[in-house]
Amino acid sequence: PREVGAYCHAHIRGSTLVTLDATGHCPHLSAPEATAAAITDFVDQL
């Protein structure tokens, strides 16, 4: 749930929260391009 993601983000210093318009529990299957872009953006910040 979005609330859980927001809670975790608020309580984990330095965390990044990305919300995708994907369906179900497998965003890498329902929105592979958006998932790959979010991962790439994260890795590029390392």
Low-confidence spans in the chain with pLDDT less than 50: none
Exposed, middle or buried by CB within 10 Å (0-12, 13-18, 19+), for 22? middle
**Single pTM value for the model:** 0.74
For the chain, the average pLDDT equals 93
C-beta neighbour count of 16 within 10 angstroms: 10
- Give me the residue label for tokens 């608020």: 10
Report the pLDDT value the prediction gives residue 35, as an integer from 0 to 100. 95
Residue 23, pLDDT score: 78
